[in-house]
DNA sequence: TCTGGCACTCGTGACCATTGAGTGCCAAGA
DNA sequence: TCTTGGCACTCAATGGTCACGAGTGCCAGA
């Protein structure tokens, strides 16, 4: 086990490196931190830390920089979560309170997160699978054309156009609408397939075709939209990534464009509590030089979706974690109110 | 007026520079193009072109690169629109045909454009102001809570939650829905305010409060959502921008994050025909080193929105214009079918 | 176990010479 | 009047040398 002081040295290295973006040497360390020992001693400690793989030198005779493993130790043992200041909290709340609909909430959240952390923000829309049905609407737009509108308790709305095999009377449609709603309102989307399974049988022979078509589209929508949607922002912050970044930034931008990759990324985060994935801990190759801080958010105790930020491994972990957690909390409140 | 050959020289310079990204000299020009004259002659022509401001030297004793004015002349007089190959056209159509709803159409279009042009793609959602009303739906979610759903002929759907001053009966709601629809269906969104103006008066005293509230929200939605939505993609292509791009890419990414800026950008494009804005022709400062190629698209003759790409001024104009135009055409077809 | 000292490494930046692509200009030829 | 070859000139880029200095590892003594 590493001695108390060596941990302190690691903490100092991480803090300095995050601040200056330059490898930090023994002398500079003793000057900027009150370690109470001489540079030579720090050098010995650094050698030990390097042996254990927590720090590394870019080249011989340069200072040390933390490795992924070093950041991991820092996050797990040495860093707290830095709470936001009261003005910051107030600003968050004011900003989010102005939202008019779910799209707006998500859009504002992304902006907010990006601004607070000065990194790339990713916010997932509330998931269908974890939401409950507030209402299912069927609109007759043309004799054989029906629009299906799904509304969740989190305010999300999905719609699909349905071409029916035969013209549908307004009465049949109202009937179907009523029966459908009586079965599914308030239930979870994941349960819907079972709940409507035997619905066609209870209709007249004439209407069964239409009912089946509508239900088929409904179930299809559930499957398709289970691939969650998300929104990202703050990509301009990537330019603060590092000096060499033509090479660094490219794969990151590419990864960010692939919703699939991002969704997997958020999916890997724990359902409760904050998840920090550092550098190579991220499965996706393009994100090997980035860290991801993610957390679930929801209107109640349970998370309905996740949000987080993507930034360089060299990031201010305590501050970022504080911002992410605070934003998630306020978004949850907003959703609960709507 | 510039002689025929000088224009030819300009064309050659633009083509070479777009290809190589390096200043092009007189000798290289005569080697790669059959101009039929010697380098010395080309040098004279170049001097003339430089006097007129069409080309410039980055430093003395380097080759020439086109100026914004040079590109402008190239686009206006020298370049055609390069049509896509048949396989390319087929690929576009196949890709777009798979879309399930409007969001999907827009998302696919963005991907497609970005891929074809290898630049940043921007696609505007069909505008409310130029669309007509397909249907207005009112859903009672709780006694005093109504959801308003707006559906356009282009498949766009907007929804708003309304808190009514008093509980609303299902009958009153149906009545309002029917009267509202009979007035506005098939009409342009811009005409809606006038069309519903006197609607409250035709209701019983009891219901007027509710009716007014609903109408107020409806009109509000029209105003808010007139700020069009859009989607962008292909930002990873920015990395191919140039060698020096830390400085170049930054303001571009920032501009792309501001929907307002992008909307203004597209708004400046002509309603019909293709618009090319080169470098400093763009009002927004961050986009001074980029060119924008935009075109309107729509289901009929009239454009309901615009789409385009943003790339370096040094871009393949004929190819880009061809791709943009072709994609716009196919998207129009898809919208017309839905 | 800590500390001061010392030799060593190596990236960085300054300085300089060389190279070569590209230019402008001019005088001769078509 | 336009074109062309020749020629001197400019200047970015390349590469080599050198001194500097931040940083290291190791060792002997407290």
Q: Do A253 and B239 touch (CB under 8 A)?
A: yes
Helix/strand/coil (H/E/C) assignment for every residue in A113-140: HHHHHCCEEEEECCCCCCCEEEEEEEEE
Mean pLDDT of the residues in chain B? 90
B232 Cβ partners below 8 Å, 6+ apart?
A: B110, B120, B121, B122, B123, B256, B262
Do residues B122 and B150 touch, judged by C-beta distance below 8 A?
no
pLDDT at residue B234, as a whole number: 95
Radius of gyration of chain A (CA): 26
Over the stretch B189-231, which tens digit does the pLDDT of each residue have? 889 999 988 888 888 888 888 889 999 999 988 887 766 789 9
Instruction: List b or e across B174-190, with b for residues whose CB sees 16 or more CB atoms inside 10 angstroms.
Output: eebbeebbebbeeeebe
Higher pLDDT, A217 or B202: A217
Distance CA A268, CA A259 (A): 14
Chain A interface mutation, best of B246, B258, B338, highest count of A Cβ atoms under 10 Å: B246
Distance CA B172, CA B200 (A): 12
Nearest Cα residue to B305 out of B94, B80, B111, B153: B153
Over the stretch B126-151, which tens digit does the pLDDT of each residue have? 888 888 898 898 988 888 889 898 88
Distance CA B189, CA B225 (A): 11
Question: Which conformational region is residue A218 in: left (phi greater than 0), alpha (psi within -120 to 50 degrees), or beta?
Answer: alpha
Over the stretch B55-99, which tens digit does the pLDDT of each residue have? 999 988 889 999 999 999 999 999 999 999 999 999 999 999 988
Distance CA B25, CA A328 (A): 57
Q: Straight-line distance from CA B35 to C1' D8, in Å? A: 27
- What dotted CATH number matches A129-225? 3.30.390.10
Q: Which of B101, B134, B160 sits opposite A141 (nearest CB)?
A: B134
Instruction: Please report how many Cα atoms fall inside a 13 Å half-sphere around the Cα of residue B330, on the Cβ side.
Output: 25
Q: Which of B101, B141, B155 sits opposite A135 (nearest CB)?
A: B141
B149/A contact by beta carbon, under 8 A:
yes
- What dotted CATH number matches B86-126+228-337? 3.30.450.40
Over the stretch B12-52, which tens digit does the pLDDT of each residue have? 999 999 999 999 999 999 989 988 899 999 999 999 999 99
Strand segments, DSSP code E, in B234-334 are: 274-278, 290-297, 305-312
Can you name the CATH fold of A4-78?
Arc Repressor Mutant, subunit A (1.10.10)
Count CB neighbours of B206 within 10 A. Answer: 10
- Cβ neighbours of A104 in B, within 8 Å: none
pLDDT at residue B335, as a whole number: 87
Q: Sign of the C-alpha dihedral, residues B257, B260, B261, B264?
A: positive
Nearest Cα residue to A102 out of A155, A158, A159: A155
Q: What is the dihedral of CA A85, A89, A91, A97, to 10 degrees?
A: 180
B223 CB neighbours strand C below 7 A:
no
**CA dist B301 → A48, B34, B297, B333 (Å):** 73, 43, 9, 11
Q: Do A257 and B235 touch (CB under 8 A)?
A: yes
B66 CB neighbours strand C below 7 A:
no
pLDDT at residue A338, as a whole number: 67
| The token pair that represents A271 in the structure block | 């359902």
Distance CA B320, CA B79 (A): 11
Q: Which of residues 37-66 of A touch B (CB under 8 A)?
A: none
Distance CA B200, CA B215 (A): 9
Domain ranges across chain B: 4-78, 86-126+228-337, 129-225
Do residues B239 and B277 touch, judged by C-beta distance below 8 A?
no
A222/B contact by beta carbon, under 8 A:
no
Helices (H) and strands (E) in chain B, counts: 12, 10
**CA dist B228 → A112, B61, B123, B224, B234 (Å):** 21, 49, 11, 9, 20
**CA dist A272 → A71, A123, A290, A334, B28 (Å):** 22, 16, 22, 19, 63
Smallest CA–CA separation between B76 and chain A, in Å?
A: 33
Distance CA A53, CA B335 (A): 58
| Strongest mean pLDDT among A99-113, A129-143, B109-123 | B109-123
pLDDT at residue A85, as a whole number: 95
Over the stretch A162-216, which tens digit does the pLDDT of each residue have? 888 888 888 888 889 999 999 999 999 889 999 988 888 888 888 888 889 999 9
- In strand D, the nucleotides that come within 7 Å of a protein beta carbon are 3-6, 9-12, 21-27
A201 Cβ partners below 8 Å, 6+ apart?
A: A208
B152 CB neighbours strand C below 7 A:
no
Q: pLDDT tier at B245 (50, 70, 90 boundaries)?
A: low
């Amino acid at each position: 086990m590493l001695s108390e002081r060596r941990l302190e040295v690691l903490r100092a290295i991480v803090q300095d490196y995050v601040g200056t973006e330059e490898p930090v040497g023994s002398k500079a360390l003793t000057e900027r931190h009150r370690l109470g020992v001489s540079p030579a001693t720090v050098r010995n400690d650094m050698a030990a830390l390097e042996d254990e793989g927590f720090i590394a030198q870019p080249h011989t005779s340069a200072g040390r920089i933390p490795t992924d493993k070093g950041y991991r130790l820092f996050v797990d043992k040495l860093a707290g979560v830095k709470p936001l200041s009261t003005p910051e909290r107030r600003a968050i709340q004011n900003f989010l309170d102005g939202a008019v609909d779910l799209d707006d909430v998500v859009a504002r959240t992304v902006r907010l997160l990006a601004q607070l952390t000065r990194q790339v923000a990713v916010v997932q829309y509330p998931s269908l699978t974890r939401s409950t049905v507030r209402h299912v609407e069927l609109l007759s737009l043309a004799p054989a054309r029906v629009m299906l509108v799904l509304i969740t308790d989190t305010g999300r709305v999905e719609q699909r156009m349905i071409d029916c095999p035969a013209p549908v009377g307004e009465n049949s449609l109202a009937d179907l609408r009523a029966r459908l709603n009586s079965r599914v309102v308030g239930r979870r989307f994941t349960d819907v397939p079972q709940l409507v399974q035997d619905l066609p049988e209870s209709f007249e022979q004439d209407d069964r075709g239409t009912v089946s078509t509508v239900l088929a589209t409904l179930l299809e929508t559930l499957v398709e939209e289970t691939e969650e949607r998300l929104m990202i922002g703050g990509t301009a912050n990537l330019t603060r990534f590092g000096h060499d970044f033509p090479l660094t930034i490219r794969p990151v931008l590419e990864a960010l464009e692939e919703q699939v990759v991002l969704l997997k990324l958020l999916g890997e985060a724990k359902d409760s509590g904050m998840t920090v994935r550092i550098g190579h801990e991220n499965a996706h190759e393009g994100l090997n030089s980035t860290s991801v801080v993610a957390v679930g958010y929801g209107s109640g105790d349970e998370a309905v979706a996740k949000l987080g930020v993507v930034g360089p491994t060299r990031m201010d972990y305590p501050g970022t974690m504080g911002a992410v957690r605070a934003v998630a909390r306020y978004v949850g409140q907003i959703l609960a109110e709507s």
